[in-house]
């Protein structure tokens, strides 16, 4: 299988390593970082069966549209562009493209989403507990809160009537901290791959669900699995389409 890697930073390099390790006659025909952006053309993308995109929020959408134009499916790990998802879905349908997007490709995090879905349904009838999310990432991360924290909040709010919106915790804005808000605290620390903690707290006890990535390998393996699955597919897909839970 022939891969194009759009974005050759921490994740692009981790994905390259997974492809090399799995080595089933696979080939990486294009690697794009900021120093060779001029090579990111529809003609070059057509040399690949599938593209994997891990760049930055302000670059992701142009890159997705270029893959649609080239007629190859694209797997997108870049976060913080989902406010334009409807526009991207429309372009995907118009161009008969293939798109797989996920705020988090790790299998463990998708299990974490599922546990949080079930726990939120139980906690919906236990109003003595308040719920909050904390995420910790490396200091170079451009967006806050993380796409994974936002997805976790959405999963919880889908099943918990007393929370209607998530807010990024801000010590200067106590108005945001209302009972209906699901608070997300974002911390940035050097050299950490990513932690998400969901805490339910009452006056007598606390329940926590924690996912802590040990390396980027889990995200990279999930992205490569999705890329292999996407070859020849059209339409828009997410992890729930790939996993059986
Ligand atoms: P990173 O180390 O900063 O790498 C970003 C890469 O994109 C770099 O190679 C950069 O080039 C390149 N780039 C910048 N602008 C570009 C453009 N316009 N077109 C093509 N390439 C461009 O970041 P990272 O840690 O790999 O993370 C990338 C994204 O993935 C972030 O949005 C992050 O939140 C997300 N992420 C998602 C998951 C998931 O599972 N979905 C997991 C981890 C991270 P230079 O190296 O030359 O600057």
pLDDT tens readout for residues 199-213: 999 999 999 999 999
Instruction: Tell me the C-alpha distance between 207 and 210, whole Å.
Output: 10
Q: Which residue has the least CA distance to atom 37 on ligand 1?
A: 77
Our answer on whether the CB atom of 112 is closer than 6 Å to any ligand 1 atom is: no
- The model's confidence at residue 15, banded by pLDDT at 50, 70 and 90, is very high
Q: Are residues 208 and 164 in the same domain?
A: yes
DSSP-derived letter for residue 215 is S
Q: Are residues 127 and 208 in the same domain?
A: yes
196 is annotated as an active-site residue: no
Domain count of the chain? 2
Query: Residue 176: what pLDDT?
Result: 59
Long-range Cβ contact pairs of 201-206 (< 8 A, separation 24 or more): 201/129, 201/130, 201/131, 201/132, 202/126, 202/128, 202/129, 202/130, 203/128
- Distance of CA 60 from the midpoint of ligand 1 (Å): 9
CATH number at residue 38: 3.40.50.720
Our answer on whether the CB atom of 10 is closer than 6 Å to any ligand 1 atom is: yes
Q: Are residues 6 and 100 in the same domain?
A: yes
Mean pLDDT estimate for the chain: 95
What is the extent of the structural domain holding 180?
A: 107-212
- What percentage of the chain exceeds 70 in pLDDT? 97
Q: Which residue has the least CA distance to atom 34 on ligand 1?
A: 79
C-alpha 135: how far from its chain's center?
14
Our answer on whether the CB atom of 218 is closer than 6 Å to any ligand 1 atom is: no
Q: Are residues 173 and 113 in the same domain?
A: yes
CATH number at residue 181: 3.30.360.10
- The model's confidence at residue 179, banded by pLDDT at 50, 70 and 90, is confident
Q: Are residues 138 and 198 in the same domain?
A: yes
- Distance of CA 123 from the midpoint of ligand 1 (Å): 36
Our answer on whether the CB atom of 148 is closer than 6 Å to any ligand 1 atom is: no
Our answer on whether the CB atom of 9 is closer than 6 Å to any ligand 1 atom is: yes
Q: Which residue has the least CA distance to atom 8 on ligand 1?
A: 9
């Amino acid at each position: 299988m022939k891969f194009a890697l759009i974005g050759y930073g921490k994740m692009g390099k981790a994905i390259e390593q997974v492809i090399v390790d799995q080595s089933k006659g696979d080939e990486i025909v294009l690697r794009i970082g900021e120093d060779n952006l001029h090579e990111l053309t529809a003609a070059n993308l057509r040399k690949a069966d599938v593209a994997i995109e891990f760049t930055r929020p302000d670059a992701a959408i142009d890159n997705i549209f270029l893959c649609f134009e080239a007629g190859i499916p694209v797997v997108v790990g870049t976060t913080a562009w989902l406010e334009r998802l409807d526009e991207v879905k429309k372009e995907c349908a118009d161009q008969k493209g293939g798109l797989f997007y996920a705020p988090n490709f790790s299998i463990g995090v998708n299990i974490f989403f599922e546990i949080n879905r079930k726990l939120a349904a139980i906690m919906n009838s236990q109003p003595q507990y308040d719920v909050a999310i904390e995420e910790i990432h490396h200091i170079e991360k451009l967006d806050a809160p993380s796409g994974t924290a936002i997805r976790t909040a959405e999963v919880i709010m889908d099943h918990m009537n007393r929370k209607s919106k998530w807010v990024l915790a801000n010590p200067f804005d106590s108005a945001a901290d209302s009972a209906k808000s699901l608070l997300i605290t974002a911390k940035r620390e050097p050299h950490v791959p990513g932690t998400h903690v969901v805490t339910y707290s009452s006056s007598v006890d606390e329940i926590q669900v924690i996912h802590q990535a040990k390396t980027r390998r889990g995200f990279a393996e999930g992205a490569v699995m999705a890329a292999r699955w996407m070859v020849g597919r059209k339409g828009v897909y997410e992890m729930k389409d790939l996993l059986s839970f």
